[in-house]
Chain A
Amino acid sequence: MSQSSEAPIVELDGLSVGFGDKTVIDGVDLQLRPREIFGVVGETGAGKSVLARAIIGLLPTGGRVLAGQVRYRGQPVSTMGPEDARAFRGGKVALIGTNAKALLDPVARVGDQIARVVRSHERLDKRAATARAVALMREIGINDPERRARAYPHELSGGMAQRIVIAMALAGNPDVLLADDATLGLDATVQAQVLESLVERSRERGLSVLLVTHDLGIVRHYCDRVAVMKAGRLVEVGDVEPFLAAPANPYSRELLDAARARPTLQRPLAEDDRPPLVSVRDLTMHFAVPGSVEPIRAVDGVSFSIAAGETLALVGESGSGKTTAGQCLMRLLDNTDGRIIFNGRDITDLRENAFRPLRRNMQMVFQEPYVALNPRWRVRDLLAEPMALIEPMTSAERARRVAELLEAVHLPTALAEARPHELTAGEQKRVGVARALATKPSFIVFDEPTTALDIRVRAQIIDLIRGLQSQMNLAALFITHDLNSVRSLAHRVAVMHLGKIVEQGSTEAIFERAEHPYTRKLLAAELPVDCEPLPPGDIAA
């Protein structure tokens, strides 16, 4: 696959980049060859995005090149004049960023935005540029591009917006694409489709692509060569196949092992006659839409039950209503219809004051770790707050319990004095878990506990939850779209699609013998690091 004979298009020669007195990229040598797809993997903070930005000459404020240089076809990028540099950006090398919706101008139609890029690189009249924009949108796989071109960014889905950004990147006919975690935050099925079209177009046009990601599955499926980045250095560079078979560097091996971990499936609990701990019948949550008679049916007649000590995974794409269902269970939302029975008691119509004593038995771990912690509070106070639900205790007892909780989630007790923004994402997640454990509940709703975390941190959080489950005989509703964590944590799985549960069964049954087409589609969208090679196109189906 490698074309080592040809001269590299982009060449990094001992590049170092610093912010203030911190070195973020430390002597990176890298050659991007013609027509190759090159993956850069690493964890958050490894400097991957800064690397992509350094190549295109757009370092974030405060960043500067300390040593080395970037060469495009032999010419150092830093010697270009302002006009050449402008033509170079977008015309020769284009950057595709994360979070497409934020990258688009909210008040301009997307077709016009693409046309603007076309016209900044080519002398064309408006009409011709718009025609080119529509052609680009069709090329990148947007249905009915003429109509979509007139849409504003907020009218598009995340996947569609990402395609628009890719079309904009292609508009200047570059020969190098830098994709900086371009599919982060998209659903697995959408991610596969978007990546598929990105890679297909690039191969057709003979582009070189630098694919920055933290997902080794993406590397395995789309890249020719790969570099592993850690703390600003490239620790390993090589062809993908040999790399996956035998990584040379211990850190690469660690990453691969974490991504490969395929734990044994949880076995379903033995059947018994005891009533379930949590039982939900025909749960319905409709949201009224201003100016419309039709409500949004976020949750539309969902039934499931969870026994003591059992974990049910609720999987589905974003917008399928799984988080809403979890919030109804916690009485954070007033469900429109249906019954929720907890521990033999109907809690559906309980008022907050009557329900509060029950909260000690059911807790929730929130999706985004940072925003679910009050930014002004110290960890100690965040952990102590739910203890008021148990019984009055002295401040010494409370301090001891806080220390115990921190220990239970494997955090140093010194963190008790920290504020949320001083913690890493993994630590924030652990604080969220510790907080839910503070009252020793019998049931916890985990809302996406593993998303937006690096591979190794994700594995640690899964281990943590798994340990807690067995120690505390905890029942859990596990809301996620990360199928790998479902394998390791759930006894049973319910698949949710457009507000309804389309399939429900033991974890083994769902993963081995899925019946519903939607479940199969969901399973197929996973990009495992190891599996038999799939014929291209099959994934996106």
Chain B
Amino acid sequence: MPSDAPIRSSFLRPALVIGLFLLALQLIAIIFAPWIAPFSPIEANPIDSLQTPNAIHWLGTDELGMDIFSRIVFATRVNLLIGFAAVAISLAIGVPIGVLVGYYRGFTGALVMRFFDFIQSFPVFVLGMALVAVLGQEIWSVVIVLCMLFVPMFSRIVRAEVLSLRERPFIAAARCSGAGDFAIMFRHILPNAMTPVIVQISVSIGMAILLTAGLSFIGAGVRLPAPEWGLMVSSGAQQMILGVWWVALFPGLAIVFSVLSFALLSDEAKRLLDTSRPGVRR
């Protein structure tokens, strides 16, 4: 029977192209920051403070006279590092927990889920401020805050998939073929449970960037003079009413484009994974 199979000719849609282009820009910024940036990102130069965008300082300078363009380029390293690290660590912890909890269920599983409920019921920023107060204003404190948010999220997604996958006939068939619990969980179930996780990875990196910026903005993130987009917006926000618009605007745009790129890529990942997902043949 000819199915209404989606036509895959639209592989390179504009959304995918834009997403990949923005991601490439960020990766270039991360790798080549010292060569791209004309000035040091952390060197204060009070004589040049609050210059409007000009030929030397393309995006102007802030109140300490630091070049905004250079700081934005270097901040890509900080912001994306935090995002990638938080998501990678959360995956490594959250996915196995989700598989185990979904496969065995039982009392321990219920306990783990209730613990996740408990963590997730805290407002992120309150949790962030509390943790940073304890751990100090370091990059790694921000990563830990984000992990506390993402581990339960990944666990829940994986658990939901595992709950339905474990009842599928191919799992019973695998058991008949002598597969033990471990093989069933990690060789049979996990590969089939990864599609929604992969989609979520990209969303989460975007979320991480936004939250990092947010935490820094309220002073619960990294400390000056470290280049970080949220921190830069924060320092510029006070001068906004004085007509100094460039200090907050440009790092703000960096956040927007960065989050946008990951949101687009996540949508596209969902689309591409869906069409290439094997369908039932009739």
Contacts and interface: CB of A to CB of B under 8 A. Distances in A.
Interface string B1-41: 11111010000000000000000000000000000000000
Contacts of A424: 281
B265 to A, nearest CB: 23
A492 interface: no
B179 interface: yes
A20 B9 CA distance: 11
Interface stretch (B48-56, B63-71, B167-175, B244-252): B167-175
Interface stretch (A132-140, A273-281, A382-390, A461-469): A382-390
A297 B7 CA distance: 48
A424 B169 CA distance: 18
B140 to A, nearest CB: 36
B121 interface: no
A425 B192 CA distance: 21
A278 to B, nearest CB: 15
Given A364-B173, A366-B169, A370-B281, A356 B180 contact: yes
A11 B238 CA distance: 78
Tell me what chain B mostly uses at the interface: helix, strand, loop, or mixed.
Answer: loop
Contact of A421 (B168, B176, B281): B281
Nearest to A384: B177
Contact of B177 (A47, A49, A386): A386
Given A60-B4, A385-B179, A376 B192 contact: yes
A60 B2 contact: yes
A330 B176 contact: yes
A68 interface: no
Contact of A372 (B4, B170, B178, B281): B170
A62 B7 contact: yes
Contacts of A435: 173, 177
B106 interface: no
Contacts of A376: 191-192
A375 B174 contact: no
Given A366-B172, A367-B169, A50 B2 contact: yes
B169 A421 contact: no
Interface string A433-447: 001101100000000
A207 interface: no
Contact of B176 (A19, A62, A364, A373): A364
B261 to A, nearest CB: 29
Contacts of B178: 356, 359-360, 385-386, 388-389, 439
Nearest to B171: A374
A507 interface: no
A375 B192 contact: yes
B195 to A, nearest CB: 10
Contacts of B123: none
Contacts of B170: 371-375
Contacts of B1: 44-45, 49-50
Nearest to B165: A374
B177 A421 contact: no
A368 B177 CA distance: 17
A419 interface: yes
Contacts of B281: 370, 421, 423-425
A385 B1 CA distance: 32
Scoring A45, A60, A374, A425 by chain B CB atoms within 10 A of each residue's CB, the highest score goes to A374
A63 B282 CA distance: 16
A400 interface: no
B277 to A, nearest CB: 8
Contacts of A352: 175
Nearest to A452: B282
Contacts of B172: 327, 330, 332, 364, 366, 372
Interface in B126-168: 168
Contact of A61 (B4, B174, B280, B282): B4
Contacts of A385: 174, 177-179
A438 B279 CA distance: 27
Contact of A44 (B4, B168, B282): B282
Contacts of B168: 371
Interface in A1-42: 19-20, 22, 24
A332 B279 CA distance: 27
A181 B169 CA distance: 26
B188 interface: yes
Contacts of B192: 374-376
B278 interface: yes
Contacts of A366: 169, 172-173
A332 B175 contact: yes
Given A367-B169, A385-B179, A421-B278, A374 B174 contact: yes
B180 A420 contact: no
A389 B179 CA distance: 9
Nearest to A423: B281
A497 B191 CA distance: 40
A51 B176 CA distance: 42
B178 to A, nearest CB: 4
A363 interface: yes
A239 B174 CA distance: 49
B174 A63 contact: no
Contacts of A47: 2
B50 to A, nearest CB: 58
Given A371-B170, A389-B178, A419-B278, 5 more contacts: A50-B1, A60-B3, A63-B4, A376-B191, A421-B279
29 contacts: A22-B2, A24-B2, A45-B1, A47-B2, A50-B1, A60-B3, A61-B4, A62-B4, A63-B2, A330-B172, A332-B172, A332-B176, A356-B180, A359-B177, A363-B176, A364-B172, A364-B176, A370-B281, A371-B170, A373-B170, A374-B174, A374-B192, A376-B192, A385-B178, A385-B179, A386-B177, A420-B278, A423-B281, A425-B281
